[in-house]
Structures are given as structure tokens and as C-alpha cells.
Structure 1
Amino acid sequence: MESSHRNLTQQVVHELGKSIFQGTYKVGDSLPSEAELCTRFNISRTATREAVKMLTAKGLIGSRPRQGIKVLDSKHWNLFDVDVLDWILIGKPDLYMLRSFQQLRLAIEAEAAFLAAQYAQPEDIKAIEDALVRMKDATNGEDDTHEADIDFHQSILSASQNPFFIQLKNFITTALKVNLRFTNRLKAVTLEEYQAHVDIFDNIKAKDSQAAFDGAMVTQRATLALINEQIQQFESKGDS
């Protein structure tokens, strides 16, 4: 019974969270009352209150006396929460969200490469190298382009040996997947892209922290420049 009760609560959390990110409920909008949610999802008041508490803890909603339950501004959202990251992908991330992702990647991934060059263990080096093999195969269409790329970046986070960076794997994965939404790239990894990743790996393996940092920074800045270019094109169309 307890397991069933928990699953019902999680179902309500998922449905409401998804609705917020898909725009059904926008910032400032009121959510249905607890009584209405009980009826809609056919669950108890206790389960409904737990769902509201969970969404409140994730920063998506807030409630005040006589004002009901309202969707909060995105600056309050816990964007590192696993559920929230999943809802971002289900929803409609825009170019500005993508730029925010990339700006943080710029700060994270270059430093992760720097640390990996210092602290990577033999098994970490092998994991990065294995990801590179997958990327090489992807240049010929023999592996999944996107999964290989995600594997590479996750492996570097692990190699940093920094528990905070390691726990950002879900964030990096979502950022890469959101990026793919806008590039809509179905083609294989190019040889130039593959070589840029090889250079980062070689510097990590050689324990050249600064070179690893610089290489990662170059690739991240290049991606950010492309995003900014897309935003400029989007805004210029809006002005015309």
C-alpha cells in the first residue's frame, strides 16, 4: 500500500512538472487547488499534499494563503534536479536556455579537463579512450554520434575525481541533448570534431593540465559562439 501511495504521488509530480515545462502552466499561473488535483488524479488529499511539497522543494511552485498554488519564476527552479532536467527535455527549451546551459558548461568542463589531467586513474583514462573509439566509429556511421559524445564528456567529469563535478553528469547530458535539438544534426561526428576531442584526451593522458583546460575551453567557446549566432539570427528575424 505504501509503495502504491508513493507511486501515485510521483505520478502527480511528473504530470504537473511536465505541464509546467510544456507551457500548460506558465510562470505566475495558478495550479488547480489540492481538492481539484485530488479529483483529477483520483488520489487522496495526503498524496496530493506530498506532490505539492515535492514540486515546492524543486522550486517550481509556491503557495500563499488566499493566493493558491502558483508557478514560480525559473530563477527559483532547481535546475540540477534530475526530474527537472528530464522535464526540460520533455518541454520546449529555447535558445536562451541553451545559451545558459553552454555558459555553465564553459565554466565546468574546462576545469574538469584540468583536474582530470592531474587526478585521472588508469581506469578513467581507459574510459575516456573508449569513448574516443566510439566517436571515431561514429565518423563512419558505425556508432551513435550523440551517445558517443555524451560518453566522452561524462568520462572526463568522472576523471576529475571531484564529487561535485561527477554529480553534474545529468546536467551535462541534458545540455548536450538540448544542443542537439537546435543543431538537429543527424550526420556523423566530423574528423575535425573528433580530432579536437583527441587533443583534449592526449593532454589529459600526458598530465598537461593547462593544455587540457585550453583545449576544452576552445571547443566550448566555439559551441557558445554558434549559439550566440543563432540567437542573433532569431532576434533579427523578430525585428524585421
Structure 2
Amino acid sequence: MLQSLQDEREAKKLLNFSVKIAKSMLSYGAEVYRVEDTVNRIYKSFDNIKAANSLVTYNFVIVSFIYNDNTYTAMRRVVLGDRDLEKIALLNDISRKMVMGGCTLDYAFKKMREIKAKRRYPAYIVISALMMSAPFFAIMFGGTFKDSLYAILIMAVQAIFINYTAKYKVTAFVSNFLGAFITTLLVMVVSKILLIYNPFSIIIVSLMPLVPGVQVTNAVRDFMAGDYLSGMIGIQAAIFVSTAIALGVVMGLKLV
């Protein structure tokens, strides 16, 4: 069911909403093509909008449309934050309701503010989940049962460190370098004191939360969708993060 804009005030409100939802989805980790598709579908749900366009990369968002022979354009710079797939799904749900005609702009703004204010899982749940995954990864990468127990402790240190760096907004390169360095150094020191069959399996376990897997997946999907610029930016960012991890591991091994 198509909607209609009533006046210039509503057109500005739609412009503001579309650029904000695009910025929010991108900062939470959505793929570029998904963000552009969401904005374009919202615009298509209004029958008196023409020449609707959106341009999204990992650094900025530009949206534009024509209403009553006037061009409305907005741009926002995007700073990538912590990935939150739940919030992406909730924002997608708002856009679906708008496209189906069951959601006004005022209601959409209200729901978007609620989603933004929605708290993430508490730190102790995230840390506990990472610790529970550690022994399975350790055995999968060639460690023994005893090594898997050590992996739980090392993963706890890594999880606490990740939570700390996220809280104080430490840059990705520094946080990944220090996370890899600290856990590698800790594993190698412990292996000198206690009997560890395969210390490298534990090191790999500690690196799993740092690996930019979602970023690589998004970049590949952007390539497949034909958005080569965003795909290149995503791959380069993933290489940058991976380099930081590798340097941290090498520095930790060299010190020991």
C-alpha cells in the first residue's frame, strides 16, 4: 500500500529518517547493498516521490529524492561501531512495516529511538559465552583436554580485554594488536611453567574473537552485489585488522 507525503515538512522528516536509518544500519554492521536496498524500498513506498537515490559506503551515506519539483538531499558521515545483528534486524522490520503501509513516520522515529537505546547483552553473558566456546575450539585446533581447560582461562582474559577496549572506544588496530600480543605472551609464559601439549592451539582460540570474519563476509557480498568500491574498502579494512593481529602474535612470540 503506497503512502503520500502531504507537505514539505513531511518530506524533510522522511529525508531525516532515511539518512538516520541508513547510518544506524551501517554502523551496526549491515552490508552496503542491504542499506541501499532498505532506503530505496522506503522511498518507493511513497507514490509522490521521484528520482529516489542512495549512495552508501563504509564512511558516508548520501540519500536524495525529488518532491514537488524540489530536490531533497542529506549526507551523514558514518563511524563504524560495535556490530549488532539484532538491531539490524529490528531496523529492517521498521522498513518492512513502512513499505507495507502499516507504519507512520512518527511511529518509525519512535521505534528507531527505542532500538538505539536498547542495551546490548551484559558483559558477563558475553564473557561467559566466549569462555564456553574456548574448549571446543582448542580441541578442534589440535589441543588436548587439558589444553582446553587452559583455553577457557585465556579466553576469559581476552573477553575481558575486548569488553574493556569497547567501553573506552580504543581504535581497531590498537585493540587487536594488544589483544593478540597479551594473550600470546600469556600463553607462552604459562607453557613455560605448566605442561601444555599444544600452546598454539590456545593462541588460535584467543584470536578467534578478533578475526574480522563478518567484515570479510560483508565485503565479499558487496563484490557479488556489484558494489566494488565498498567491497575493496571492506577487504582493505579486514587486511588492516589482520595485520594488527599478526604483529601482536609475532611480538608476543619474540619476547618469549
Q: TM-score, normalised by structure 1?
A: 0.25
Higher helix residue share = 1
Greater Cα radius of gyration, structure 1 or 2? 2
Greater RCO, CA 8 A, separation 6+: 1
